[in-house]
Each structure stands twice: as C-alpha cells, then as structure tokens.
C-alpha cells in the first residue's frame, strides 16, 4: 500500500496520545509532558504535516472538502502542539484531537485519495517517504 509510510507515522501519533494518557494517569508533571509534546511536534508532527500538505493533499483539488477539513485540523493541532498557556487542558484536548485527525485520515481521506490518484502518483509518494526516519528515541520515557 503506497500510503504505508504515512500510516506508520500515524501509528506513532496514536502512540503519542497513549503516552500522554499514561502520563496523566501517573501524575507526571505538566512540565515533563509539555517537553515531550514540544519534542514530538518538531521531530514527528511538523515534518509529517508538511509531507502530507506538499505531496498528498494536492492529489485532490485544493477546495475539496476533505482537504479543507484536513488543513483545518492541521492548523488546530499546530496550535495545540505549541500553546504555552493553560498547558494541562491543552494537552488533554490535543490527546483526543490528534487521535481523531489520524482516524479521519486513515478511514476517510486516504481511502478517497487512493480512489482518485493514479498508480504513478501513489508510487511517487511512497518514494518521497521511503528514507524518512520514524519514531526517534526520546530521552525521558515517563510512560514506561
């Protein structure tokens, strides 16, 4: 499946949400959770969003409602990943909204794109992502 590299990154996104939930359960300090959020944004999420917006979404028309929804999600999530006020509440919202966004892409948007894109277009996406690192090591595994 051509979109597998992106799907693999989605798996790490879902894992991120799970780790945040673990952090809350274990009463890990908000400061530590925020540091993890900041790291994950720069390491995984920002490059992932950029890749989707540059190579994947253009396979549908830019006015397509599914693309519009995905772009709106990205902007909301970027805010949740970078806000420095009311961080505890932000992290709880982020945990849920990231999961929801990933499910939307996996179940709705990716299916649509695979329906309309040509095999050549899909293959090109696979090549773009073939060499990207995934799931880098984090120095403070508070969820373990």
What is the Cα–Cα distance from 9 to 51, expressed in whole angstroms?
Answer: 11
What is the Cα–Cα distance from 78 to 30, expressed in whole angstroms?
Answer: 18
Distances (CA, A) of 9 to 25, 43, 111: 25, 11, 17
| Residues 56-95: x where in contact with Fe ion by CB under 5 A, - otherwise, as a string | ----------------------------------------
Q: Residue 83: how many CB atoms within 10 A of its CB?
A: 16
CB of 10 to Fe ion, least distance (A): 6
Residue number with CB closer to Fe ion (34 or 97): 97
Q: Does 44 bind Fe ion (CB under 5 A)?
A: no
91, 105, 117, 129: residue in contact with Fe ion (rule CB under 5 A) = 105
From the list 59-67, 105-113, 123-131, 135-143, the region that binds Fe ion by CB under 5 A is: 105-113
Handedness of CA 131, 135, 140, 144 (dihedral sign): negative
Residue number with CB closer to Fe ion (95 or 105): 105
| Residues 4-43: x where in contact with Fe ion by CB under 5 A, - otherwise, as a string | ----------------------------------------
The Cα angle at residue 100 between residues 96 and 102, in degrees rounded to 5: 120
In the complex, the residues that contact Fe ion under the rule CB under 5 A are 52, 105
């Amino acid at each position: 499946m051509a979109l597998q590299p992106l799907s693999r990154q989605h798996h790490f996104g879902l894992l991120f949400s799970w780790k945040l939930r673990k952090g809350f359960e274990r009463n890990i300090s908000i400061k530590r959770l925020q540091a993890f959020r900041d790291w994950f944004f720069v390491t995984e999420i920002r490059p992932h969003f950029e890749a989707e917006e540059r190579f994947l979404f253009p396979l549908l028309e830019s006015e397509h409602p599914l693309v519009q929804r995905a772009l709106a999600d990205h902007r909301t999530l970027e805010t949740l990943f970078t806000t420095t006020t009311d961080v505890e509440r932000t992290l709880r919202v982020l945990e849920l909204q990231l999961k929801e966004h990933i499910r939307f892409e996996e179940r709705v948007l990716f299916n649509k794109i695979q329906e309309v894109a040509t095999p050549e277009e899909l293959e090109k996406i696979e090549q773009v992502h073939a060499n990207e690192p995934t799931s880098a090591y984090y120095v403070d595994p508070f969820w373990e």
